[in-house]
Each structure stands twice: as C-alpha cells, then as structure tokens.
C-alpha cells in the first residue's frame, strides 16, 4: 500500500509521542521492602551513628521520612494489616503470631494488595517472609495474588542453612514457589533474597507494572541455638561496638542496608526508577536488650517488640518516588501500616478497585498519597494500636494523646533501653531532623506514675514521645474521651483466628520440611 510522504512523515512524527504518552501513563512500579524487627534506633537517619545505614538514609532523605508512623507490636498482625488495609482486630490476627504447626492463616475471604493490583495489570512477586499461613495450600502467597514466591513460610529462619525451629520442631523452610530448595545451604539469606529481587527487576518486562514485595529475614533473630548471624565482611565493619550481640546485629543491619542500595541500583540500571515508588518499613518495634535473643534498639523510645509502648509500635519508615511532589523532608502526619494498601492503590491510580462503602469488605486504612505528595494534612487523626482481650492490653492514639491500658510480660519490658556497646548520647542524637525530642525524664527515685496493670495511662506524645509523664490524673476529661473511643473500637473486635497446635503439621512427619498438611 502506498502512503504519501507527507502522511508518513506525520505518522513518524506523532508515533514516538504516542508511545511516550503511554509510557508516561503506565502505572508505577511498587517496591515494598519490609525489614523484620528493625528498631527505631537501628537506622542512622534517626540520629544514631552507631550503625550507619547510608543506602537507607539516602533514599529516606531524598523521599519522605515518616516520623509518626505506626505498626503493630508483632509480625503476623502487621503483615496481615499491610496486605489488607485492615486493623488486626478486624482480621482476627490481633492476639499472637502464627506458629508453624497451627492450622490457621489470613482469612481466605480477605482481598490482598497483590489481588487488587492484578486488576491494574501488575506482575506480583514476593521474596522472603510470608508468615500468613501455609497449613493448606490455599493460604500460600501464590494463591493470594502473587505470581511467584522465593522465600520461607515461618516467622524466622536460619540465615545459612534455611531451617526453621519452633517449640522443639525443626525443619527446612526455603521454597521456590512450592518447590523445596535444598541446594543453597551456606548462602546468606539476606544476599539470597537480594539477588532474587535483582533478578526479578532485571528480567521484568517493562511494558507491565511490577509489584515487588521484598520481605527480608533481616534483622530478625535466627533459631534460638544461634540467633544472631552475619558474615565476616559485615561483622568486621563494627570494631567500635564492644558488645558482641549488638555487633553481630549491626552486621545484620549492614546487610539489610546494602540490599536496599542494590535494589535501587537495579531499578536505576533498567531505567525503572523514574516510574517507581519505594516503600520501606519495619514490621514492629525492635526486640531490644536480648528480648527474643536479639539486640535491636528503640532508644530513646520506651519498650520493645510485643509491647504497646512507642518502642514497640512506632516504626522506622520512609517513602521514595520521583512521582511525589514535596520530598526531602520529615513528615509528622499520623500514619498506620494499614494505610499502605489504599495509598499504594492511589499511587497506581487504582482507587476505584476498592470501595470503602462496601459493607462486605470495609478497610481501616486511609489513602495518604496526596497528603504525602502535597504535604497537606492527613485525614487520619487516630490510630488503634491494638485490642487484645486474651492478654488484656489496649492502646490508642488520638491526635497527640495516647492511652495505654494493661501491658505484656507483667511489665518486665516496659523500660527504656539504651544501645549496647557504645557511648552514644541522646544529646548527640537529637540534632538529627528525624530524631525524637524527649521530655525530661523522671528524676531518680521518683515513683513511677504509670502503672498500666492497675489503671489507664495517658501521654501527650507531642511533648512527651518517650512516655515519661502520665497525665491520667491531670486530664480526666481527655482520658474519658480516649476510653470512650476504645469502647467503640471494642464493639467491632472479631475473635482471634489462632488455633492450637496440630501434630500433623510437625516437619518430622514431612521429611523434616515445613509443609502444608491439610
């Protein structure tokens, strides 16, 4: 067919512009990186230079550091909230983590983030930790919206032999989709997961958007007989840390930080960084001072992992993207881990795939994309931190006030824990833009004003983020309003999904491999 030269020239002129327009409108790549058990004081953008995290810091400072961002106190609740946009009390995951021989998981009626993203043409990959159920294959990540999974199903694993130990049960826990991986013994888990993430990025067909959920083992402790594991290359970077446990932990953080840098460079090598959103978050506060055989740190915040103090629930997080308009700052707007689902869908222009008014699937998360990008006030004014009837613990933040009633472990982990192995001072830390500014602590010998096992405690976190000064007696009207809000939430709690152990799930019955059994 003959095409006149003038017409042909017009086609050739407009064709690149049409292609460019389509590329510009392509949905962004979503890279969701979850660090496991990373404490507030384990990233140097919060002010401590004991463990430098240059790759994490670089993206955090170029993007938006989230300083009033909340997670849940332990893992399974946080991951369920992250992937559904719901509070754990509305999922039945509010009580405890999922143990390997327990026949339960994230409810099959729940719609997950990758399932929503599928509606926008995304290719979805998970690398690393799942921890939302595997007793039946229906609960596996590749049946919950992900196209592939390379990683493990339990809550933790050995970094080198990839086995998982829970309550005396031991078995291999490394999978490539459903296939057991037996030939990678001796390969460091953080590096393995990073290399898989790099491979996914380098082989991705850029005509479709990518969702990569990189859920690291780092920096969770490994099996209890050898809990803190790093490589010599990372360990040797920290001769200044004189505490052996903290030094090993620092090596684990260094591996995590290097991973973040490698993932970003892979995106940049493919030109994918220009249309990507990178979210970095911990799943809960750090297990400090040997809690859970670990030496993470949340100082100067109070408490540790699995407590409702700020050290257990205020998370280290940032968001980075060229698509954000107002970056290079520290955000103090209130945000919860459940907000990522609607926020990511908004960034992907998929707001219409979820309807908040749907009474069959209401979410608790709030779309924060515009508020973050434009630096405008967030629609979120309160965060439910948890309600757990079985442990009799409750906590809620409304604007600047926080109420906490009850505590875990009989109060044994309710204190403030400086980092081991160095003489870092709070005065040196608090100069950082993202540092917490504590109120003066209680004077030595002053009676503790907050006894949450006896009555509710009230804190003004704007002026006292380190939870030194209980205002319950001084502000009874505020306290009552907070109690009233907790009462309303309490009417919406669903029963925990936790189930007693099932001997059929023991790995010894499956060739010493953790495997589905129903």
Beta bridge partners of 336: 70
Active-site residue flag, 457: no
Using CA atoms, how far apart are residues 37 and 350, in angstroms rounded to an integer?
31
Place of tokens 């003489």: 423
Contacts of 317 (CB under 8 A, 6+ apart): 65, 66, 69, 279, 280, 281, 282, 335
The tokens of 123 are what? 């290719």
In 3D space, the residue among 494, 379, 344, 408 whose CA is nearest the CA of residue 72 turns out to be 408
Query: What is d(CA 403, CA 385) in angstroms, rounded to the nearest whole number?
Result: 10
Total count of residues recorded for the chain: 518
| CA dist., res. 129 & res. 152, Å (int) | 5
Distances 386 to 40, 106, 185, 314, 342 between C-alpha atoms, Å:
19, 17, 39, 13, 20
Exposed/middle/buried for residue 86 (C-beta within 10 Å: 0-12, 13-18, 19+) = buried
Among residues 46, 95, 131, 204, the one annotated as catalytic is: 131
Cα separation, 419 vs 232, whole angstroms = 22
The tokens for 216 are: 């690291």
Distance, in Å, from the CA atom of 117 to the CA atom of 83, rounded to the nearest integer, reads 11
Contact 272, 251 (CB under 8 A): no
CA dist., res. 76 & res. 95, Å (int): 9
Q: State yes or no: is 131 an active-site residue.
A: yes
Give the 3-state DSSP-derived string for 235-288, with helices as H, strands as E and coil as C.
HCCCCCCCCHHHHHHHHHHHHHHHHHHHHHHHHHHCCCHHHEEEEEEECCCCCE
Decide: 94 and 493 in contact? Cβ < 8 Å. yes
Q: What is the CA radius of gyration of the chain?
A: 23
Among 75, 438, 457, 466, the active-site one is 75
Query: Which are the contacts of 59, defined by CB distance < 8 A and separation ≥ 6?
Result: 260, 264, 278, 280, 318, 320
* Helices and strands in the chain, H and E counts: 12, 18
Phi and psi at 356, nearest 5°, equal -60, -30
**Which residue in this structure is represented by tokens 């939430």?**
489
For residue 327, count other CB atoms closer than 10 A to its CB.
17
Catalytic amino acids? 75, 131
């Amino acid at each position: 067919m003959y095409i006149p030269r003038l017409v042909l020239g017009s086609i050739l002129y407009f064709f690149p512009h049409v292609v460019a327009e389509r590329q510009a409108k392509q949905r962004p790549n979503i890279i969701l990186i979850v660090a496991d058990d990373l404490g507030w004081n384990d990233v140097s953008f919060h002010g401590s230079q004991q463990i430098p995290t240059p790759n994490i810091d670089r993206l955090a400072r170029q993007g938006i550091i989230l300083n009033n961002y909340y997670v849940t106190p332990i893992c399974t609740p946080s991951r369920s909230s992250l992937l559904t946009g719901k509070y754990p009390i509305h999922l039945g995951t509010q009580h405890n983590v999922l143990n390997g021989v327990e026949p339960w998981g994230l409810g099959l009626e729940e719609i997950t983030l990758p399932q929503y993203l599928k509606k926008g043409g995304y290719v979805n990959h998970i690398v690393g930790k799942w921890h939302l159920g595997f007793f039946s294959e229906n609960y596996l990540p590749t049946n919950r919206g992900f196209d592939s999974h390379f990683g493990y199903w339990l809550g933790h694993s050995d970094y080198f032999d990839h086995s998982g130990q829970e309550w005396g049960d031991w078995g291999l826990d490394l999978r490539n989709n459903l296939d057991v991986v037996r030939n990678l013994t001796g390969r460091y888990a953080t590096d393995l997961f990073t290399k898989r993430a790099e491979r996914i990025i380098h082989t991705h067909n850029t005509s479709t958007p990518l969702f990569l959920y990189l859920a690291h083992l780092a920096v969770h402790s490994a099996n209890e007989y050898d809990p803190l594991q790093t490589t010599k290359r990372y360990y040797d970077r920290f001769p200044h840390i004189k505490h052996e446990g903290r030094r090993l932990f620092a090596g684990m953080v260094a591996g995590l930080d290097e991973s973040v840098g490698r993932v970003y460079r892979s995106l940049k090598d493919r030109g994918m960084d220009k249309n990507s959103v990178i979210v970095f978050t911990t799943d809960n506060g750090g297990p400090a001072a040997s809690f859970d055989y670990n030496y993470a740190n949340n100082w100067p915040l109070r408490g540790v992992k699995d407590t409702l103090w700020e050290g257990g629930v205020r998370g280290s997080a940032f968001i980075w993207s060229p698509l954000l308009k107002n970056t290079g700052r520290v955000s103090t707007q209130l945000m919860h881990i459940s907000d990522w689902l609607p926020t990511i869908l908004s960034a992907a222009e998929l707001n219409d795939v979820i309807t908040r008014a749907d009474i069959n699937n209401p979410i608790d998360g709030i779309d924060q994309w515009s508020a973050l990008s434009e630096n405008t006030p967030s629609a979120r004014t309160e965060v439910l931190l948890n309600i757990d009837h079985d442990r009799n613990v409750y906590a809620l933040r409304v604007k600047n006030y926080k109420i906490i009633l009850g505590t875990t472990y009989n109060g044994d982990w309710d204190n403030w824990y400086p980092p081991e192995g160095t003489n870092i001072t709070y005065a040196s830390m608090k100069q950082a833009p993202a540092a917490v500014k504590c109120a003066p602590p209680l004077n030595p010998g002053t009676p503790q004003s907050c006894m949450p096992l006896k009555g509710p405690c009230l804190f003004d976190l704007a002026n006292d983020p380190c939870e030194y000064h209980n205002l319950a007696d001084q502000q009874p009207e505020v306290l009552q309003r907070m109690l009233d809000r907790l009462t309303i939430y309490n009417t919406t709690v669903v029963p925990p999904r936790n189930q007693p152990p099932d001997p059929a799930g023991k790995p010894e019955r499956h060739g010493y491999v953790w495997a589905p059994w129903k």
